[in-house]
Amino acid sequence: MSAAPVPEEASSALLEARDLRKTYRARATGRPVAAVDGVSFSVRAGETLALVGESGSGKTTIGRLIARLEAADSGTVRFDGEDWLALGGEALRRKRRDVQVVFQDPQTSLNPRMRVGDQVAEPLRVQRLVRGREVAARVAALFQEVGLDHSASSRFPSEFSGGQRQRIAIARALATRPRLLVCDEPVSALDASIAAQIVNLLVDLQQSLGLAYIFISHDLPVVSRIADRVAVLYLGKIVEEGPAAAVIGRPQHPYTAALLSSVPGETPGAPAPGIRLAGQPAGEGRETRGCPFEPRCPIARPRCREETPPLAETFPGVRAACFYPGELSGPSS
């Protein structure tokens, strides 16, 4: 099966992934499960691409593959024109400074036995970016950058609130002056008011430092605040992709429309609540024939059981893998 086409802007992308795949073995049966199934996307410098979807959609696995925390089974990733997956040894160690990760829960991503200043300084030492007294000065600047006083650097993670710990984790990720941050559900462990502050911090840092983000989230109101583009994932495949305002304002895929309808409160442009999906996502034994969303889709037709819809443009800039795009949010053209 051929890879999904990559939009034209990929040619100027900071990062470009093509036909990325990752399969695991199910613990119970040993059968293969495709966590990431032929995913292609690009991220430009200074841009935020949000990956959204239910638990098990493959979004976190994609983040881990891009960060080289796991190895892809196949596919290519080019970072600034260089073959990112082919790097190893010292070349990979040096290049890692350009791609860093902010994890979901800073309580587990920070070492409880190390002072936070030492944790922020560690990437500087590993990458040999600064030495001696310059380390302390750089750590102080990083704390200031994320809105914390440097005097806190001698304390341990347990002495901070959840929001403060995430600021420390962001400072650590910024230590090497990366060009791309993979943000894996960075605010889902925080209450709403603190989460908003962290999102605002990420927006400010992007503007001041020119960072690109891959922002992994299930929180669509947060995504609408921070993302330039959105890729919606279902069972390891992208089912809709386009500018955030278009995808959130006029979803083309019924799965996207259902995700938006489930959001409590006021999500800009969301369809009316009440779209219900049948059952749960198919498991390891799911059939590959036809549209993978067909068993749960409220607008499925017989064709959907027999053919797999391609990820194709439904209106300028937006692609969706659906034979009947836009039916749950109005006309598609």
Q: pLDDT over 70 for what percent of the chain?
A: 88
Query: What is the mean pLDDT of the segment spanning 107-124?
Result: 94
Whether 162 shows a pLDDT value over 50: the answer reads yes
Q: Which two tokens stand for residue 56?
A: 């098990």
pLDDT band at 27 (very low <50, low <70, confident <90, very high): confident
Q: Which two tokens stand for residue 271?
A: 């369809």
Among the ranges given (6-20, 26-40, 123-137, 292-306), the one the predictor scored with the smallest mean pLDDT: 6-20
237-294 pLDDT tens trace? 999 999 999 999 999 999 999 998 877 655 455 444 566 676 656 555 455 579 999 9
Furthest-apart CA atoms within the chain: distance in Å: 69
